[in-house]
Amino acid sequence: MNGTVVRSIVLGNRPRVLTAGVVLMLLVAIAQWATVSVRPAESAQRATLRERLIFGLLAKIPSEIEFIDLVVLKVHEGKLPERLVNQTFFWARERAAPSENGSPQRPIIYFKPAMTARAKRIGVAL
């Protein structure tokens, strides 16, 4: 083999190796960037009690949202224990699970009367 053929074989593969190396480094950089961007922001906050009640109970109409606002107000005033609200919330969600016929109910329809009755028992008017 003459020197030109050897040189072209050795140098001919170098750009491919260099290109593969650059592509590999870019893929690693993109993977690291993607991993970092998927992490939740440190300033992200948990859902408020109001948000949990509205979304968890599927409250839609204004009167239901007004009731939830009243419940949240009573909790913030210290008149209604948040633990009692949470217990009623989870009970209503469980109660509204799909029935035998497969039609789920909105949990708010169970939460509202149950919360009113439980609050009345401890002397809180809703």
The predicted-structure confidence for 35-74, as pLDDT tens digits, reads as follows 554 455 555 678 999 999 999 999 999 999 999 999 999 9
Contact 106, 98 (CB under 8 A): no
Quick one: 53 and 113 in the same domain?
Answer: yes
Is the whole-model pTM more than 0.75?
A: no
User: CA separation (Å) from 122 to 54, 69, 81, 90, 117?
Assistant: 24, 19, 10, 19, 9
Sign of torsion over alpha carbons 31, 34, 38, 41: positive
Is there a domain that residue 114 lies in?
yes
- At 4, which amino acid appears? T
Q: What angle do CA 123, 124, 126 make, to 5 degrees?
A: 140
Instruction: Specify the pLDDT at position 37.
Output: 47
Is there a domain that residue 126 lies in?
no
Is there a domain that residue 103 lies in?
yes
Q: What angle do CA 77, 81, 82 make, to 5 degrees?
A: 95
Quick one: 40 and 54 in the same domain?
Answer: no
Mean model confidence pLDDT for the chain: 81
Pairwise pLDDT comparison (7 vs 112), residue with the higher score: 112
pLDDT at 5 over 90: no
Number of domains composing the chain: 2
Instruction: Specify the pLDDT at position 95.
Output: 92
Contact 96, 103 (CB under 8 A): no
Note the pLDDT tens digit of each residue in 83-125: 999 999 999 999 998 777 777 789 999 999 999 999 999 999 9
Quick one: 55 and 94 in the same domain?
Answer: yes
Quick one: 32 and 54 in the same domain?
Answer: no
Residues 6+ apart with CB under 8 A from 96: 104, 105, 106, 107, 109, 110
Q: Which domain holds residue 72?
A: 49-121
